Structure 1
Amino acid sequence: MKFLIVDDDFDSRRLVQKILHPYGYSDLAADGEEGVEAFRQALEAGEPYDVITLDIMMPNIDGQDALREIRDLEKEYGILPPEGAKVIMISGLDDSQEVHDAFFLGDATSYIVKPIRKRVLIEEIQNLGVRLEP
């Protein structure tokens, strides 16, 4: 299992990495720009990510724009839903507009409000049909 964790908060990145560590390999990105580039490189290498956690509020490229760029890259590579990466938006904002934009403008797979809890994240990934095996 291959994960991409995109969050500008160091502690949040490390927490998600620690939660997901038993289930696979995680790459980390500190902002949306780094996240999109990591995603592009993974596609070019033929090793796409299975699950991406993507913070919304970040410098350079925010999570909403990064998600749209990720979905555009998938289209360029001929990856169509539901075959694309499972993208879980993670935010401190419990804002209906952000949730709407994530699902309807960016084709997010899920949305979790911080603080990040291990049980919630694991259950959310499994609810998306991803088998997590240590």
Structure 2
Amino acid sequence: MKKILVVDDDYLSKNLLSRIFKGSFIVEGASNGKEAIEKFRRENYDIVFLDIMMPLMTGMEVLKKIREYEKEKKVIESEKSVIIIVTALGEIENIETAYEMGCDLYLKKPITIKNLREKLGELGIELKKI
């Protein structure tokens, strides 16, 4: 079963995403960027959901560190984690920067299950019916 890491300092957002994926994936959570990096270095995650605004380390910093770690470990492109930014920040500069840094999908909160299912489908990721 594929593994997901949901990284968000907001308990409700993290819990909602975790509940959506429960049953389709093994889901783990992290409440800040530092915790996310520690978990990522210990485990392989197929998908990482990142909020941008978090304590200790922003989601953009986490994104950068994950991609650097994958490069350092010589992870081939097809085995890299799918990184999805889920944030309230919708400014074009943030979106462009995230894609330049290697995110695979940028979703602006609030997100609906329908929208999430559709966007994941575009990435070839199936979500079981809820």
**Is the TM value for this pair above 0.5?**
yes
3-state SS of the aligned residue for 2:38? helix
3-state SS of the aligned residue for 2:45? coil
Structure 2 counterpart of 1:118, from 96, 113, 118: 113
Identity, % of aligned positions: 34
- In 1, the alpha carbon distance for the partners of 2:128 and 2:79 equals 20
2:16 aligned residue: 15
Answer whether contact 2:21 2:127 (CA < 8 A) is retained. no
Q: Where do 5+ consecutive residues of structure 2 fail to align?
A: none
Answer whether contact 2:117 2:126 (CA < 8 A) is retained. no
2:33 aligned residue: 32
Q: Deviation digits for residues 6-40 of structure 1, max 9, x if unmatched?
A: 00100000000011112111110001111111111
2:57 aligned residue: 61
1:81 positional shift: 2.4
3-state SS of the aligned residue for 2:22? helix
When normalised by structure 2's length, the TM-score is 0.92
Query: How many residues end up aligned between the 2 structures?
Result: 128
Structure 1 segments of 4 or more deviating over 4 A? none
1:121 positional shift: 1.6
Q: Where do 5+ consecutive residues of structure 1 fail to align?
A: 43-47
Aligned residue type for 2:116: L
Structure 1 counterpart of 2:46, from 45, 50, 57: 50
CA shift in 2, pair 1:82/1:103, >3 Å: farther
Aligned residue type for 2:27: S
Cα RMSD after superposing both structures:
1.4
Aligned residue type for 2:110: P
Structure 2 counterpart of 1:86, from 82, 89, 99: 82
CA shift in 2, pair 1:79/1:133, >3 Å: farther
- In 1, the alpha carbon distance for the partners of 2:106 and 2:11 equals 20
Query: Is 1:99 matched with 2:95?
Result: yes
When normalised by structure 1's length, the TM-score is 0.89
1:133 positional shift: 5.0
Q: Deviation digits for residues 40-59 of structure 1, max 9, x if unmatched?
A: 110xxxxx111111001111
